[in-house]
């Protein structure tokens, strides 16, 4: 296990200088690829990578079809302002093909992992001649994978998987000693705008972690639409993370005076500091009611909205 650098211990200037020189010495005069999803972790890694490697680094955003509304354009725009060019790779078909018919959560995560690392990055690395992939794995990702809670999509070494022999490239993970708060502090020190380092966490498997049962483009669109509403209405809640989940079970509802056997959205909103433990935020009934009615009015097919009232553990933050 990597040795933790606690928030108290973290000296961001020192940390940044150390990581920049580490990345430089590993990559040398070669090329590296950097996987940017637009989340806090990968945004911080992108800035570290650019400080270290400049144009020896190619930053890619993989459009897997599972991301939030407008995410690709938003991320490209944010980084353009910071002087970083982000290449968007369209891999939607590959991801939906790989996920087809899979209902088991761990199998879904495995399908995502294989598509990201073997297929998509494998191909980019081969084409570009890069030998390194820079990514934003943090200590919490490793903890939970090693503890057997969830196989996080981006953890290999601690499971005895060598990316070089498995995928054909090495993985550099500058943030493995940090937890979320430390990553945010580093992001701030690197000059990232608050809109980036203050973003709520979003998981690597994206909406595949928030659709119960088989993942289809239609189901992803449903949860995506609900997420727009949840994120807008909870933006100022001060919560650690908030999300919508699409359930597989249907319930009887009514629409326009007729029976509508429709879908159910579950809202989760968490108070937490590091995602290891979390409790549901005590949202007002006004805000809950507003989310409920906006979702049933604006998300086709949804007739029921619920709010999660259990803590982690035994719940987890995401649904799969
Ligand atoms: P869970 O659901 O395990 O989530 O309580 C803990 C935190 O990690 C995020 N998460 C992930 N992040 N890859 C990631 O990069 C993953 O596979 C993954 N699964 C969950 C989740 O959003 C929460 O902040």
Which atom number of ligand 1 is nearest to the Cα of residue 149? 3
pTM of the model: 0.91
**Is any atom of ligand 1 closer than 6 Å to the C-beta of 262?**
no
Q: What is the pLDDT of residue 173?
A: 96
Q: For residues 179 and 103, state if they share a domain.
A: yes
In this prediction, residue 89 has a pLDDT band, given cuts at 50, 70 and 90, of: very high
Instruction: Please tell me whether residues 45 and 140 are part of one structural domain.
Output: yes
Whole-number percent of the chain with pLDDT over 70: 100
Do residues 184 and 74 share a domain? yes
- In a domain, residue 35? The reply is yes
CA nearest ligand 1 atom 18, residue:
203
Clarify whether residues 174 and 221 are in a common domain: no
**Closest residue by CA, ligand 1 atom 17:** 152
Inform me whether the pLDDT recorded for 300 exceeds 80.
yes
Q: What is the pLDDT of residue 307?
A: 98
Give the whole-angstrom CA distance, residue 152 versus residue 83: 31
Provide the β-strand partners of residue 245.
266
- Kindly state whether residue 202 falls inside one of the protein's structural domains: no
CATH code, 115: 3.40.50.620
Q: Which atom of ligand 1 is nearest to the CA of 153?
A: 17
120 plus 221 within the same structural domain: no
User: Domain count of the chain?
Assistant: 2
Which residues neighbour 59 within 8 Å (Cβ) at sequence distance 6 or greater?
A: 33, 34, 36, 46, 49, 50, 79, 84, 85, 86, 87
Please determine, for residue 277, whether its predicted confidence score (pLDDT) is greater than 80. Answer: yes
Final residue in a domain of this structure, among 197, 230, 264:
197
Is 226 domain-assigned?
yes
pLDDT at residue 153, as a whole number: 78
Q: How confident is the model at residue 159 (pLDDT cuts 50, 70, 90)?
A: confident
For residue 141, the CA-to-ligand 1 centroid distance in Å is 7
pLDDT in tens, 40-63: 999 999 999 999 999 999 999 999
Q: Which atom of ligand 1 is nearest to the CA of 180?
A: 24
How would residue 308 be classed by pLDDT, with cut points 50, 70 and 90?
A: very high
State the pLDDT confidence band at 144, using cuts at 50, 70 and 90: confident
Per-residue pLDDT at 147 exceeds 90: no
Final residue of a structural domain among 139, 166, 197: 197
Q: Is the pLDDT of residue 150 over 80?
A: no
Q: Can you give the pLDDT at residue 151?
A: 78
* pLDDT of res. 297: 96
Whether 142 and 245 share a structural domain? no
Q: Report if residue 319 sits inside a domain.
A: no
Return the structure tokens found at 108: 């879904």
Q: What is the pLDDT of residues 244-263, one digit of tens each?
A: 999 999 999 998 899 999 99
Ligand 1 atom nearest the C-alpha of 243 is: 22
Query: pLDDT at position 245, please?
Result: 98
pLDDT attached to residue 50: 96
Decide if 131 is inside a domain.
yes
Residue 91 lies in a domain: yes
Residue 16 has pLDDT above 90, yes or no: yes
107 close to ligand 1 (CB < 6 Angstrom): no
User: Residue 269 falls within a domain, yes or no?
Assistant: yes
Q: Provide mean pLDDT across the span 1-15.
A: 95
Asked if residue 182 and residue 300 are part of one domain, the reply reads: no
pLDDT of residue 278: 98
In this structure, the answer to whether residues 278 and 162 fall within a common structural domain is: no
Domain boundary (197, 225, 245) is at 197
Which residue range(s) make up the domain with 292?
Answer: 210-307
Residue 294: give its domain's CATH number: 3.30.300.10
């Amino acid at each position: 296990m990597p040795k933790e650098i606690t928030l108290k211990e973290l000296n961001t200037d020192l940390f940044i200088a150390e990581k920049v020189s580490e990345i430089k010495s590993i990559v040398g005069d070669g090329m590296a690829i950097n996987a940017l999803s637009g989340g806090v972790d990968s945004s911080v890694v992108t800035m570290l990578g650019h400080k270290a490697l400049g144009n020896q680094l190619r930053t890619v955003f993989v459009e897997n079809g599972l991301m939030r509304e407008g995410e690709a354009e938003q991320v490209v725009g944010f980084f353009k302002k910071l002087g970083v060019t982000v290449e968007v790779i369209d891999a939607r078909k590959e991801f939906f093909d790989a996920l087809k018919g899979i209902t088991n959560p761990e199998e879904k995560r495995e399908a995502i992992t294989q598509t990201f690392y073997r297929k998509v990055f494998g191909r980019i690395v081969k084409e570009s001649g890069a030998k390194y992939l820079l990514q934003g794995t943090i200590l919490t990702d490793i903890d939970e994978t090693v503890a057997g809670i969830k196989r996080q999509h981006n953890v290999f070494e601690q499971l005895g998987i060598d990316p070089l022999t498995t995928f054909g490239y090495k993985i550099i993970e500058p943030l493995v000693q940090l937890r979320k708060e430390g990553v945010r502090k580093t992001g701030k020190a690197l000059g990232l705008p608050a809109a980036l380092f203050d973003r709520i966490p979003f998981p690597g498997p994206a909406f595949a972690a928030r659709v119960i049962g088989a993942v289809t483009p239609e189901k992803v669109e449903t949860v995506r639409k609900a997420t727009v509403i949840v994120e807008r209405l909870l933006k100022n809640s001060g919560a650690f993370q908030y999300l919508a989940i699409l359930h597989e079970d249907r319930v009887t509802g009514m629409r326009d005076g007729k029976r509508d056997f429709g879908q159910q959205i579950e809202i989760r909103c968490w108070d937490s500091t590091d995602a290891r433990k979390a409790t549901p935020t005590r949202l007002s009934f006004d805000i809950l009611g507003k989310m409920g009615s906006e979702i049933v009015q604006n998300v086709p097919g949804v007739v029921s909205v619920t709010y999660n009232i259990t803590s982690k553990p035994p719940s987890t933050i995401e649904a799969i």
